[in-house]
Structure 1
Amino acid sequence: MDKDFKLRLKSHCKEIVIQKIKSAEEAMNSAQNSANAETRSTAGDKHDTARAMAHLEKEKMGEQLSQNLQLLRVMEELKESELTSVGPGSLVVTNVGLYYLSVSLGQVKFENQVVFVLSAQSPIGRLFVGKTKEEEITFNGRKFIIKEVL
């Protein structure tokens, strides 16, 4: 692993978040179009129910959009400085796998590697924060040895 891998991974994760933003925007527009189409209906109660459902869907997508925009802001604020201990923006290479502390995206496949992309505030993220190479943590009964911090 090297710094270039980490930079490419960060870019890939930002792209995932941007795609989520686009999907939420499209779903909001679709719900709005659906609600607008229902206003032309003359079906009474059915019309009101469909409009209410479309409105709820739009609100739900609005919330997702807001959350994803926040994730993108967090990603953009991550510093690319030399880190000797684990913190936000760290790529942690362990005996168990790769962990990128940024935003909660879960398991991401990148360049034939599986990387767990998680927040520094997540339960395992909090255990990693402040640790250095050769230190270990135990999470859910499993021992993680830190081989490298990038």
Structure 2
Amino acid sequence: MNKSEILKIVQEKLSEKIATLERMIAETRASNNETKSSMGDKYETTREMVQQEINNLQIQLNENVRAKNSLTFVNTNLHQTIGLGSLVQTDKGFFYIAVSLGEIIFNEKKIFVISTESPLGKVLFNKNKGDEISLNNTKQIIKNLW
């Protein structure tokens, strides 16, 4: 498994999310400006709701930018124990330890991109090939580690 290619996919997905959020913020700001100029003061509540939406989008944008920046610390070398940058195969699936992103497809395989702070990431951290883990009463055996 080529972890450098997986990391590149993760970076591209985050870049797409960032671009989408930036576009949504710009569009929402534009609609807020139109509201200000054409509706008058009696629609103050609507403007406040639009501003709250902008704030929510900004929070999501900041989280995604932080996640993308954190990828610079991901080690793509072969790992002996599970940590940031590990690709793990258990009897339940493939997991890439980097950031919380969800599922990606690589070489026709589903890989779940999880952070070290996720419940599964915490359980996997510092484990080795052959170890058994348990999360939510579900046992998994670590079959492979890259």
| TM score, norm. by length of structure 2 | 0.92
Q: In angstroms, what is the RMSD of aligned CA positions?
A: 1.4
Alignment of 1:126-141 (within 5 A): 126-141=122-137
2:8 alignment counterpart:
11
User: Percent of pairs identical after alignment?
Assistant: 29
Alignment of 1:1-150 (within 5 A): 2=1, 4=2, 6-46=3-43, 48-150=44-146
Shift of 1:53: 2.0
Letter in 2 for 1:140: N
Shift of 1:45: 1.3
Q: Deviations over 1:112-141 (max 9, x none)?
A: 111111111211111111111111111122
In the alignment, structure 1 segments of 5+ residues that lack a partner are none
Q: Distance in 1 between matches of 2:66 and 2:41?
A: 39
Contact 1:35/1:55, CA 8 A, preserved across alignment:
yes
Q: Distance in 2 between matches of 1:39 and 1:106?
A: 38
Q: How many residues align?
A: 146
SS of the equivalent of 2:38 reads coil
Q: Distance in 2 between matches of 1:51 and 1:110?
A: 43
| TM score, norm. by length of structure 1 | 0.90
Shift of 1:111: 2.8
